Structure 1
Amino acid sequence: MSKIPNTRNSPLNRPQPQPVPADPNQPTGEYSPEHPLFEDPDALATRLVESEDFLRRNKNVLLGVLTLVVLAVVGAFGYYTWRTSQDEKGQAAMFQAVNYWEADSMKKAMKGDGQYDGLEAVAAEYSGTKAGNLANFYAGVASLKEGQYQAAIDYLEDFSSDDLLVQARAYSLLGDANMELNKYKEAADFYNKAANHNANEFFSAGYLLKEATAREMAKDYSGAVTAYDKILTDYQNSAEAAEAKQFKARAEGLAGK
């Protein structure tokens, strides 16, 4: 009698049928602790009961949190709508004041003409809006022209712009106002900020030349030499380069170099 070779298809290697449980509702496989909720209905039921109990015990807290979230969303939307409306009103109110400003009628631009608000009123009433922010810039320039240097500083310090060139201009105007108040170090620092805020070949050399002058007025001759050197190194083709070269020699002599 020949032996049957023990191959993968031989009866010896075929999978043996698993016994069928007496109760068809019982799982045929063993319980897997890795997925208790999927494998064990009792665990899932227990978890649901625990969740319901948690919700019941913390109902007031959860309702309070939900109320706060809803109020925050409604409040944020309301504030955005109100602020947009205020900005539109501010832009309209400032229209005539800007016309006076452009016509170099600074007093009417600042105070208004009895019928239309001036920049002072717009900056105060619409503070926090784009219109109020822009009114601060116009008012700062107007105050500077009128010789109200501290007022110019106050307005310009409340102004900020995403436009890099406009913001650099505001820094330079702050330098001008401080120069008029004989605050030379403060002026030099603002000119330096203006020169390095989006540094460019069109305006930075001029701001650096102002910085060097302010440094000399503050008797910071080494600082002045540094500003002159930056002009000659970074902006050697600028109109300010010739002055920088001339004044640098004087500053070096005063600095003892």
Structure 2
Amino acid sequence: MSKKNTDESGFEIIETPEALAGQISKAEVFFLKNRSVVFGIGGVILLAVVAFAGYRFYIDSQEGTAQTALANVVYDFEADSLQKALNGSGGNEGLLSIADSYKGTDASNLATFYAGVALLKEGKYDEAITRLQAFSSSDLLLHARAQSLIGDAYLEKNQAAEAISYYKKASEYEKNEFFTPVYLMKLALAQEKGNQAADAVSTYKRVIDEFPLSSEVVNAKKYIGLLEGQAGK
């Protein structure tokens, strides 16, 4: 019998043909004893692969239909025909139907965003919040925009704390010269409504200091003056 080889730590190293043959034999015995389990695991993996491929095929086939439906309804949305946009007209599906009927597609996700905006414009704040929270995007503009719109809905509901939370999310996501100052101004307004005057002043100052070229600077300075004047009374 060949002597077993070990490294310095004492761990057995299989190098000899006899040792290797022994390991193969052990594997064969294991397989014979557990082949039903092995085949079962293999079957589960195969089914998972087939199911995923089928799902992707289904989603891909749905995407084209959903994109066409969305293109038809966007005209109503842009024309502020909100009821038509939400519920459909002339045989066209509306945003709510597209969002719910083609889940998993990009068109459904975008329809969810549009539906949230339309519902917000109609004053249906709770429904708007639900739709906008369901929307997901890594897009620089749309993600922050959705957070800001949720803040708008909460502010309309006089829930300043919730509005502040979402405006902060919007203002902190991928900061840029064009939209971040707008979100900061909304945040400061919510802080004012939430009786957080000191925080509002700090936020207005951020607009002035961090975005000195933005058009919001003039209003930020004005509102700081008003708050500081009120505090001095």
Q: TM-score, normalised by structure 1?
A: 0.80
Residue segments in structure 1 that go unaligned for 5+ positions in a row: 1-29
Computing the radius of gyration from Cα coordinates, the structure with the larger value is: 1
Kept in 1: contact 2:5–2:15 (CA 8 A): no
- Equivalent residues, number: 227
Measured in 1, the distance between the counterparts of 2:116 and 2:20 equals 69
**Residue 209 of structure 2 is aligned to residue 237 of structure 1:** no
Q: Distance in 1 between matches of 2:211 and 2:21?
A: 77
Are 2:108 and 1:132 equivalent residues in the alignment?
yes
Amino acid across the alignment from 1:33: N
Q: Please state whether the residue corresponding to 2:5 is helix, strand or coil.
A: coil
Task: Give the fraction of aligned pairs with identical amino acids, expressed as a percent.
Answer: 42
**Offset at residue 215 of structure 1 (A):** 1.0
Amino acid at match of 2:194: A
Answer yes or no: is the 8 Å Cα contact 2:5–2:14 preserved in 1: no
Could you list the structure 1 runs, at least 4 aligned residues long, displaced by more than 4 angstroms after superposition: 34-38, 253-257
Of 189-198 and 209-218, more deviation after overlay is shown by 189-198
Give the secondary-structure state (helix, strand or coil) at the position aligned to 1:162. Answer: coil
Instruction: Note closer, same or farther for the CA distance 1:216–1:37 as it changes in structure 2 (3 Å cut).
Output: closer
Structure 2 residue 85 is matched with structure 1 residue 88: no
Task: Confirm or deny: 8 A CA contact 1:221 1:254 kept in the other structure.
Answer: no
Report how far residue 107 of structure 1 moved: 1.1
| Alpha-carbon distance, 1:249 to partner | 3.1
TM normalised by structure 2 equals: 0.87
Which structure shows the higher helix fraction?
2
Give yes or no for contact 1:232–1:244 (8 Å, CA) kept in 2: yes
Structure 2 Cα separation of the partners of residues 46 and 193 of structure 1? 61
Structure 2 unpaired stretches of 5+:
7-11
Relative to structure 1, is the Cα distance of residues 42 and 128 closer, same or farther in structure 2, using a 3 angstrom cutoff? closer
Name which of 34, 53, 73 aligns with 2:49: 73
Write the letter of the residue equivalent to 1:165. L
Q: How far did residue 253 of structure 1 move? A: 4.9
Q: Are residues 1:64 and 2:40 paired?
A: yes
What is the DSSP-based 3-state SS (H/G/I as helix, E as strand, rest coil) of the residue aligned with 1:58? helix
Shift of 1:133: 0.8
